[in-house]
Amino acid sequence: MAAIVNTLPLFFVACAIALSLGFSCAEAESDGFSVELIHCDSPKSPFFNSSETHTERLSKAFARSLRHVNHFSKSLFSTKIPESMVIPDHDTLTFGSTAGLPVSFPKLIFGCGHNNAGTFKERATGIVGLGGGSVSLIPQLGAGVVSTPITSQALYPVFYYLTLEAISVGNKRIENTKPISGEGNIAIDSGTTFTVLPSRLYSEIESEILKNVAAKRVPDPTGTLSLCYQYTPALRYPTLTAHFTNADVKLSPNNVFLLMNDQVVCLALGPTDKVPIFGNIVQIGFLVGYDIQKKTVSFMPIDCSKA
Ligand SMILES: *[C@@H]1O[C@H](CO)[C@@H](O)[C@H](O)[C@H]1NC(C)=O
């Protein structure tokens, strides 16, 4: 009896995903998505059999659960036995979004199956994996999304603060000053163009970049930024990674090095002894989600020219 009770959630999910899930009911959220699961015994399900009695329905459900237990306990130790010969294909999956605009996930693996085995009825038109395997929807959507806590800052409460633990220039990790416990040490602001970092962190990043870039130094034509190079298309830049608490955000050269004109490229970061700000140039190419209830900010790399 205990075995049946334990597998009820499993059977619930298996039933629901055996339906061709209408993704109109799927909603992308800041750092995830939600899908309405309809139980196959629900009157809302196309599998609902109105001539079954309640007892029949329950006993069939228990029988299905038991078949699942047997099926999964068999394959648990032989995960290499194929359940299906799948011809993989890549396509774009688009969700409606709580933010308004739909969110697209390109290059998702879709497959056509042959010799399909399993406990799913032939009436099912497709299976969406929501488990932990590599072709499941979850790790495919989750690829690249990272979240970091929003922390408070008593001094300027108008901003959302994050905790920037360090910045890496290539493989060299440069630690940031530890914030007072419970407080953030950098504001995130889409209304500020340049990113300004604590002076000590900035100067260490600058000297590390100097060591790594082989190009002629020139002054900034606007007289603002301190590290500029003569631009050539062959110029190679080190990769910078912002290490927020629980979230490493790998920046592309476009987030860090700004072409001032066709001859000069500058490091688009600056030092400050006041409020450090993670500005909008470093946010280009990311879907940045604010979850005010969970108090997190999430970053997902996205190709804005295609989204
Ligand atoms: C619906 O339930 C009835 C009663 O149990 C059964 O005879 C019939 O085969 C079921 N129909 C389908 C399509 O499963």
Q: Are both 253 and 276 inside the same structural domain? A: yes
Q: Are both 89 and 187 inside the same structural domain? A: no
Q: What are phi and psi of 197, to 5 degrees?
A: -120, 160
Mutational test site, ligand 1, from 41, 45, 52, max ligand atoms within 8 Å of CB = 52
Whether the Cβ atoms of residue 253 and residue 174 lie closer than 8 Å to each other: no
Q: Are both 105 and 193 inside the same structural domain? A: no
Query: What domain range includes position 224?
Result: 146-301
| Alpha carbon nearest to ligand 1 atom 4, residue | 52
225 - beta bridge partners? none
Average pLDDT over residues 51-80: 71
Answer whether residue 220 is part of any domain.
yes
Answer whether residue 43 is part of any domain.
no
Q: Are both 96 and 206 inside the same structural domain? A: no
| pLDDT greater than 70 at residue 27 | no
Start-end of H helices in the chain: 2-18, 54-75, 137-142, 199-212, 253-256
Q: What are phi and psi of 27, to 5 degrees?
A: -125, 125
Ligand 1 atom closest to the Cα of residue 49 is 1
Average pLDDT over residues 68-82: 54
- CATH code for position 230: 2.40.70.10
Answer whether residue 157 is part of any domain.
yes
Answer whether residue 5 is part of any domain.
no
Q: Are both 173 and 134 inside the same structural domain? A: no
User: Quick one: pLDDT at residue 144?
Assistant: 74
Q: Are both 239 and 296 inside the same structural domain? A: yes
Residues of the chain with pLDDT > 70, as a percent, come to: 70
User: Quick one: pLDDT at residue 117?
Assistant: 62
CA of 121 from ligand 1 middle (Å) equals 14
The residue ranges of DSSP E strands in the chain, in sequence order, are 26-29, 32-35, 85-97, 103-114, 146-149, 160-162, 164-169, 172-175, 186-188, 195-198, 228-230, 240-244, 247-250, 257-259, 264-267, 269-272, 277-278, 286-291, 296-301
Rounded to two decimals, the pTM is 0.59
Q: How far apart are CA 57 and CA 72, in angstroms?
A: 22
User: pLDDT tens digits, residue range 239-263?
Assistant: 999 999 999 999 999 999 999 999 9
Answer whether residue 21 is part of any domain.
no
| pLDDT greater than 60 at residue 111 | yes
* 142-156, 222-236, 281-295, range with greatest mean pLDDT: 222-236
Helix pair 2-18, 54-75: axis angle to 10 deg = 90
User: Quick one: pLDDT at residue 19?
Assistant: 32
Per-residue confidence at 213, pLDDT binned at 50, 70, 90?
very high
Number of domains in the chain: 2
Query: How does the average pLDDT of the chain come out, rounded?
Result: 77
Residue 212: count of CB within 10 angstroms of its CB: 14
| pLDDT greater than 70 at residue 124 | no
User: Quick one: pLDDT at residue 73?
Assistant: 58
Answer whether residue 294 is part of any domain.
yes
CA of 209 from ligand 1 middle (Å) equals 71
Q: Which of 119-123, 186-190, 277-281 has the lowest mean pLDDT?
A: 119-123
User: Quick one: pLDDT at residue 68?
Assistant: 66
Answer whether residue 288 is part of any domain.
yes
User: Quick one: pLDDT at residue 211?
Assistant: 95
Which residue has better confidence, 154 or 213? 213
| Alpha carbon nearest to ligand 1 atom 2, residue | 52
Is any ligand 1 atom within 6 A of the Cβ of residue 59?
A: no
Answer whether residue 165 is part of any domain.
yes
Per-residue confidence at 137, pLDDT binned at 50, 70, 90?
confident
User: Quick one: pLDDT at residue 123?
Assistant: 64
| pLDDT greater than 90 at residue 230 | yes
* Beta-strand relationship, 186-188 and 277-278: parallel
| pLDDT greater than 50 at residue 229 | yes
Q: How far apart are CA 140 and CA 24, in angstroms?
A: 19
Q: Are both 169 and 99 inside the same structural domain? A: no
User: Quick one: pLDDT at residue 267?
Assistant: 95
Is any ligand 1 atom within 6 A of the Cβ of residue 123?
A: no
Length of the chain: 307
User: pLDDT tens digits, residue range 163-174?
Assistant: 999 999 999 999
User: pLDDT tens digits, residue range 11-24?
Assistant: 233 333 333 333 33
